[in-house]
Amino acid sequence: MKASTLGAGALLLSVAAPFAGSPYRAPQHLDVDGLVAQIERGEDHVTALELAGWIRARKPGLRVIDVRTPEEFAAYSIPTAENIPLDRLAPTAFRENETIVLYSEGGAHAGQAWVLLKALGRDNVRFIAGGLADWHYEVMAPVLAPDASAKDRKAFEAASELSRYFGGEPGLGPAQEPRASDTATRPRVATLRRRGC
Protein backbone atom coordinates (compact mmCIF):
# COMPACT_ATOMS: atom_id res chain seq x y z
CA MET A 1 0.00 0.00 0.00
CA LYS A 2 1.32 3.43 -0.88
CA ALA A 3 2.36 5.78 1.91
CA SER A 4 0.04 8.48 0.61
CA THR A 5 -2.95 6.11 0.86
CA LEU A 6 -2.05 5.31 4.49
CA GLY A 7 -1.62 9.01 5.22
CA ALA A 8 -5.03 9.78 3.70
CA GLY A 9 -6.60 7.00 5.78
CA ALA A 10 -5.04 8.37 8.97
CA LEU A 11 -6.19 11.87 8.08
CA LEU A 12 -9.74 10.69 7.48
CA LEU A 13 -9.89 8.79 10.79
CA SER A 14 -8.40 11.72 12.69
CA VAL A 15 -10.70 14.33 11.17
CA ALA A 16 -13.71 12.18 12.12
CA ALA A 17 -12.41 11.72 15.68
CA PRO A 18 -13.62 15.05 17.20
CA PHE A 19 -17.15 14.22 16.07
CA ALA A 20 -17.11 10.69 17.44
CA GLY A 21 -17.53 11.60 21.10
CA SER A 22 -15.62 10.13 24.04
CA PRO A 23 -13.75 6.88 23.45
CA TYR A 24 -14.13 5.98 27.15
CA ARG A 25 -16.90 3.71 28.30
CA ALA A 26 -19.66 5.31 30.32
CA PRO A 27 -18.57 5.40 33.96
CA GLN A 28 -19.70 2.33 35.83
CA HIS A 29 -21.70 3.02 38.93
CA LEU A 30 -20.26 1.59 42.08
CA ASP A 31 -22.05 -1.61 43.05
CA VAL A 32 -22.93 -0.29 46.51
CA ASP A 33 -25.24 -3.19 47.44
CA GLY A 34 -22.58 -5.69 46.46
CA LEU A 35 -19.99 -3.91 48.60
CA VAL A 36 -22.34 -3.75 51.57
CA ALA A 37 -22.97 -7.49 51.23
CA GLN A 38 -19.22 -8.17 51.19
CA ILE A 39 -18.75 -6.03 54.30
CA GLU A 40 -21.59 -7.82 56.10
CA ARG A 41 -20.13 -11.21 55.22
CA GLY A 42 -16.78 -10.00 56.56
CA GLU A 43 -15.10 -10.51 53.18
CA ASP A 44 -13.66 -7.01 53.34
CA HIS A 45 -11.01 -7.67 55.97
CA VAL A 46 -8.65 -10.24 57.44
CA THR A 47 -7.37 -10.42 60.97
CA ALA A 48 -3.71 -9.66 61.59
CA LEU A 49 -3.30 -13.28 62.69
CA GLU A 50 -4.70 -14.60 59.41
CA LEU A 51 -2.34 -12.33 57.49
CA ALA A 52 0.59 -13.57 59.57
CA GLY A 53 -0.39 -17.13 58.63
CA TRP A 54 -0.53 -16.21 54.96
CA ILE A 55 2.87 -14.54 55.07
CA ARG A 56 4.45 -17.51 56.79
CA ALA A 57 2.83 -19.96 54.35
CA ARG A 58 4.05 -17.79 51.45
CA LYS A 59 0.52 -17.61 50.05
CA PRO A 60 0.92 -17.30 46.26
CA GLY A 61 0.05 -13.87 44.85
CA LEU A 62 -0.12 -12.22 48.28
CA ARG A 63 0.70 -8.49 48.26
CA VAL A 64 0.78 -6.71 51.59
CA ILE A 65 0.35 -2.98 51.02
CA ASP A 66 1.23 -0.34 53.61
CA VAL A 67 -0.75 2.81 52.72
CA ARG A 68 1.03 5.07 55.24
CA THR A 69 3.67 7.66 54.35
CA PRO A 70 7.18 6.52 53.34
CA GLU A 71 8.58 7.92 56.64
CA GLU A 72 6.16 5.86 58.72
CA PHE A 73 6.85 2.83 56.53
CA ALA A 74 10.61 3.25 56.96
CA ALA A 75 10.21 3.39 60.75
CA TYR A 76 8.25 0.14 61.01
CA SER A 77 6.35 -2.14 58.67
CA ILE A 78 4.88 -5.64 58.52
CA PRO A 79 7.41 -8.08 57.00
CA THR A 80 7.04 -8.48 53.18
CA ALA A 81 4.90 -5.30 52.97
CA GLU A 82 5.43 -2.73 50.23
CA ASN A 83 4.74 0.95 50.69
CA ILE A 84 2.06 2.44 48.41
CA PRO A 85 0.64 5.64 49.96
CA LEU A 86 -3.01 6.43 49.16
CA ASP A 87 -2.20 8.87 46.35
CA ARG A 88 -0.21 6.19 44.53
CA LEU A 89 -2.76 3.43 44.87
CA ALA A 90 -4.88 4.22 41.79
CA PRO A 91 -1.99 4.21 39.28
CA THR A 92 -0.49 1.02 40.72
CA ALA A 93 -0.86 -2.02 38.50
CA PHE A 94 -2.13 -5.17 40.18
CA ARG A 95 -2.46 -8.56 38.58
CA GLU A 96 -5.72 -10.49 38.38
CA ASN A 97 -4.54 -13.33 40.58
CA GLU A 98 -3.13 -11.22 43.41
CA THR A 99 -4.56 -11.07 46.90
CA ILE A 100 -4.12 -7.52 48.16
CA VAL A 101 -4.03 -6.91 51.92
CA LEU A 102 -4.05 -3.24 52.95
CA TYR A 103 -3.09 -1.84 56.31
CA SER A 104 -2.54 1.55 57.90
CA GLU A 105 -1.77 2.90 61.36
CA GLY A 106 -5.32 2.59 62.69
CA GLY A 107 -7.61 1.09 60.11
CA ALA A 108 -9.47 4.03 58.61
CA HIS A 109 -7.05 4.75 55.80
CA ALA A 110 -6.79 1.08 54.87
CA GLY A 111 -10.61 0.87 54.83
CA GLN A 112 -10.76 3.91 52.57
CA ALA A 113 -8.10 2.36 50.33
CA TRP A 114 -10.27 -0.79 50.18
CA VAL A 115 -13.20 1.27 48.83
CA LEU A 116 -10.89 3.00 46.32
CA LEU A 117 -9.59 -0.30 44.95
CA LYS A 118 -13.12 -1.72 44.85
CA ALA A 119 -14.24 1.36 42.89
CA LEU A 120 -11.37 0.67 40.47
CA GLY A 121 -12.75 -2.83 39.96
CA ARG A 122 -10.27 -4.85 42.05
CA ASP A 123 -11.71 -8.12 43.32
CA ASN A 124 -9.43 -9.73 45.82
CA VAL A 125 -8.80 -6.89 48.29
CA ARG A 126 -8.87 -7.01 52.08
CA PHE A 127 -7.64 -4.83 54.91
CA ILE A 128 -6.63 -5.27 58.52
CA ALA A 129 -9.48 -3.74 60.51
CA GLY A 130 -7.40 -2.54 63.46
CA GLY A 131 -4.25 -1.66 61.51
CA LEU A 132 -0.80 -1.95 63.02
CA ALA A 133 -2.27 -2.05 66.53
CA ASP A 134 -3.91 -5.37 65.60
CA TRP A 135 -0.59 -6.61 64.24
CA HIS A 136 1.08 -5.71 67.51
CA TYR A 137 -1.52 -7.17 69.89
CA GLU A 138 -2.44 -10.27 67.85
CA VAL A 139 0.90 -11.22 66.32
CA MET A 140 3.85 -9.52 67.98
CA ALA A 141 2.62 -9.63 71.58
CA PRO A 142 -0.39 -11.91 72.00
CA VAL A 143 -1.44 -12.54 75.60
CA LEU A 144 -3.46 -15.16 77.42
CA ALA A 145 -5.78 -14.01 80.15
CA PRO A 146 -5.39 -15.97 83.44
CA ASP A 147 -9.02 -17.12 83.28
CA ALA A 148 -8.83 -18.28 79.65
CA SER A 149 -10.85 -21.29 78.54
CA ALA A 150 -9.27 -24.40 77.02
CA LYS A 151 -10.29 -23.23 73.59
CA ASP A 152 -8.61 -19.85 74.16
CA ARG A 153 -5.50 -21.65 75.35
CA LYS A 154 -5.34 -23.67 72.15
CA ALA A 155 -5.76 -20.55 70.01
CA PHE A 156 -3.06 -18.85 72.06
CA GLU A 157 -0.65 -21.75 71.45
CA ALA A 158 -1.15 -21.40 67.68
CA ALA A 159 -0.79 -17.62 67.85
CA SER A 160 2.35 -17.91 70.00
CA GLU A 161 4.00 -20.13 67.43
CA LEU A 162 3.25 -17.60 64.69
CA SER A 163 4.36 -14.79 66.95
CA ARG A 164 7.78 -16.35 67.53
CA TYR A 165 8.16 -16.82 63.77
CA PHE A 166 7.87 -13.04 63.38
CA GLY A 167 10.16 -12.39 66.37
CA GLY A 168 7.28 -11.49 68.69
CA GLU A 169 6.98 -12.14 72.42
CA PRO A 170 3.80 -13.94 73.42
CA GLY A 171 3.05 -13.55 77.09
CA LEU A 172 0.65 -14.27 79.89
CA GLY A 173 -1.50 -12.02 82.01
CA PRO A 174 -2.93 -8.60 81.19
CA ALA A 175 -2.26 -7.13 77.76
CA GLN A 176 1.32 -6.00 77.53
CA GLU A 177 2.06 -2.44 76.67
CA PRO A 178 5.06 -2.27 74.41
CA ARG A 179 8.14 -2.25 76.61
CA ALA A 180 10.65 0.57 76.84
CA SER A 181 13.31 -1.60 75.17
CA ASP A 182 11.07 -1.86 72.13
CA THR A 183 11.10 1.88 71.65
CA ALA A 184 14.51 1.86 70.05
CA THR A 185 13.82 -0.93 67.60
CA ARG A 186 10.13 -0.47 66.91
CA PRO A 187 9.38 3.22 67.43
CA ARG A 188 6.04 3.26 65.64
CA VAL A 189 4.55 0.22 67.28
CA ALA A 190 5.85 1.32 70.65
CA THR A 191 3.62 4.37 70.53
CA LEU A 192 0.54 2.45 69.41
CA ARG A 193 -2.50 2.26 71.59
CA ARG A 194 -5.63 0.45 70.74
CA ARG A 195 -8.01 3.18 69.72
CA GLY A 196 -10.91 1.44 68.09
CA CYS A 197 -11.68 1.24 64.41
Partner 1 sequence: MSFADSPLAAFLIGTAFGFALERAGLGDARKLAGQFYLKDFTVLKVMFSAIVTAMLGAFWLGRVGLIDLAAIHVPETFLAPQAVGGLIFGVGFVVSGLCPGTSCVAAASGRLDGLAAMLGLLAGVLITGLAFPLLEDFYRSTDRGVFTLPEMLGLPYGVVVTLVVAMALAAFRLAETLERRS
Question: Which stretch in 2-10, 37-45, 144-152, 184-192 sits in contact with partner 1 by CB under 8 A?
Answer: 2-10
Amino acid in position 179: R
Regarding 14 and contact with partner 1 (CB under 8 A), the answer is yes
In the complex with partner 1, which residue's Cβ is closer, 13 or 36?
13
Rounded to whole angstroms, how far apart are CA atoms 157 and 151? 10
β 125-128/82-83 pair status: unpaired
Site string for partner 1, 83-112 (x = CB under 8 A): ----x--xx-x-xxx---------------
- Give the one residue of 17, 37, 119, 175 binding partner 1; rule: CB under 8 A: 17
- Give the one residue of 2, 19, 29, 71 binding partner 1; rule: CB under 8 A: 19
Total site size for partner 1, rule CB under 8 A:
24
Regarding 174 and contact with partner 1 (CB under 8 A), the answer is no
Task: Count Cβ atoms within 10 A of the Cβ of residue 117 and give its class: 0-12 exposed, 13-18 middle, 19 or more buried.
Answer: buried
Residues 23-62 touching partner 1, rule: CB under 8 A, are 23-25
Calculate the alpha carbon distances from 43 to 29, 114, 178 in Å. 21, 11, 30
Calculate the alpha carbon distances from 46 to 26, 54, 128, 135, 167 in Å. 33, 10, 5, 11, 21
Rounded to whole angstroms, how far apart are CA atoms 125 and 186? 27
Binding residues for partner 1, rule: CB under 8 A, are 3, 6-7, 10-11, 13-15, 17-25, 87, 90-91, 93, 95-97
